[in-house]
Amino acid sequence: MFASLFFYGFWDWNYIYLIAASIIFNYFLSQLQAQAEGATRSKIIFGAALFFNLSLLGYFKYLNFFFDNMNFLTGGYNVEKILLPIGLSFYTFQQISYQVSIFSGRSKPRNFLDYSLFVSFFPQLISGPIVHHAEMLPQFSKKTFSKPRITSIIIGFCVFSVGLFKKVVLADTFAKFANPVFDGSLLAESGTNFIAAWSGAIAYGFQLYFDFSGYSDMAVGLGIMFGIKLPFNFFSPLKAKNMIEFWGRWHISLTREITNLLYTPLSMNSMRKAMGGKSSKAVFFLKSVAIPTLVVWFIVGAWHGAGWNYILMGLLFGIFIVFNHATKNFVYNNTEHPLLKKITKTSGFLAIPTTFIAYIIAVVLFRAENVQAALNIYSAMLDPNFANWQTSVPYIGYKRFGVLLAVGAFIVWCLPNSILYFSRYNVGIDIFSWKSGKAYPKTAWRLNLLHVGFCALLATLSLFLMSNNFSEFIYFAF
């Protein structure tokens, strides 16, 4: 635990007090909750826990956003910028989930040391994956945690190396093509350029995937070295055939938590109310699926960042998901019409590229500095004007970008993901639940000199490139 806090303190020692206070207060409330007699007292304690955790997020993450909007509407507010403590969103989310489990009676509180380590375990503290106490706490009492084996250290190093390669070699290289577009310099030089905008947006889509999945792999690898299994957070999301499937494969730990904590309760409550009256199928769908989905994705967007661009990104993903649910309920389940049958057959071929394009469109809002910057990119993406293509193509280095794009696409769509690559050794918690009965991929990693040497080569190459150029992980900002 102290090592984890020491690691966290490298960013800013002042915020160690914040995470320590958060751990102590949440632990204290969980103990009170376990001893509470009567529903009223239990609800008061749970309400206090929610208020405390949401107040931390509200102050550090959203207060500046609130006053910025007040200034825009009325003016006159001069508030000093509040620095967002690194990892606040992640460890607060985990503790809220813990409080919900204690309040509902699904879990019982553990001792203070185990709880503190669950919250502060450094491999996943900064950017996830979001771990669940039921998966983590039992592992702290195992012998493999106190005395990790040499094989665990080797396997962990190899998983870590794959993640490091994704980040340093792939994500940071894609960033060189995405940044000039999103910081405006390329569009300013080339005018409203269709090629530049789409190249930058696609480059950022790959950058975000390799950056975030790379960090998650590194976290899993570090966990293995300490004898702890963390959940894999990605399962080839860019192979998804629709946006519902995409979010079942992307940031899987977040999807699991928002489904359990937000979507399922909201949807079930709305469904019960809708079933109580005489509603048409469309109205029932609106109340039980569409509205809960959009509410949840509004919250998810706000959780990602305090800005309208993040909120709009969340709503856009929500609209895509509602559209998928609607087509499933009203089109694919009613394919008696000959035209609908043809559409159903042909849509499978286009499903993956369509979902990928939808992802690219949505993450423009995630990368842009603000809504206006995102609108500038969208304007260029929607204007197939090739008049100034000569100024943008040399700037982005179309040959190098083409090679990089081909490499990235091959890795994403042709090679096995990290779960499948290390599937022989059950190295992480598989919350995606891929079919364990499947045969291992022919390229699956083995604990032998050849495969360990390959991972060592990836690590060496990554460290060499990292010495010249290294950027922070994207999710460090959230």
| pLDDT value, residue 396 | 57
Closest CA relative to residue 6, chosen from 103, 125, 98: 125
Per-residue pLDDT, averaged over 336-343, amounts to 58
What's the pLDDT band for 133 if we cut at 50, 70, 90? Answer: confident
Q: Residues 435-454: what's their mean pLDDT?
A: 80
Mean pLDDT of 215-230: 92
> Mean pLDDT throughout 463-469?
79
Kindly compute the dihedral angle of the four CA atoms of residues 215, 218, 219, 225, in this order, to the nearest 10 degrees: -170
Using one digit for the tens of pLDDT, what is the confidence trace for 155-211?
999 999 999 999 999 999 999 889 888 887 555 555 557 888 898 999 999 999 999
Crossing angle of helices 16-35 and 39-57, in 10° steps, is 170
pLDDT at 10: 67
Report the distance separating Cα 418 and Cα 424, nearest Å: 11
Structure tokens at 403: 């090679």
Question: Does the pLDDT value for residue 388 go beyond 80?
Answer: no
* pLDDT exceeds 70 at position 338: no
Active site residue 304: yes
Instruction: Find the range with the poorest average confidence among 96-100, 140-144, 236-240, 280-284.
Output: 140-144
Quick one: average pLDDT of 244-271?
89
Q: Please say if the pLDDT value at position 344 is more than 60.
A: no
Active-site pick, 132, 133, 251, 304: 304
Share of the chain above pLDDT 70, in %: 83
Mean pLDDT of the chain: 84
Residue 68 pLDDT class (50, 70, 90 cuts): confident
Which position has the higher pLDDT, 322 or 38? 322
- Tell me the C-alpha distance between 119 and 103, whole Å: 18
How far is it, in rounded angstroms, from Cα 372 to Cα 374? 5
Q: What is the dihedral of CA 21, 27, 31, 34, to 10 degrees?
A: 130
pLDDT score of 342: 60
At 4-25, the pLDDT tens digits run: 666 666 666 777 888 899 999 9
pTM given for the model: 0.90
Average pLDDT estimate for 63-70: 87
State yes or no: pLDDT of 444 exceeds 80. Answer: yes
pLDDT, tens digit (0-9, with 9 covering 90-100), for 389-424:
555 554 556 788 889 999 999 999 999 999 889 988
pLDDT digits (tens, 9 = 90+) for 278-292: 677 788 888 888 999
- Residue 345: pLDDT band (50, 70, 90) is low
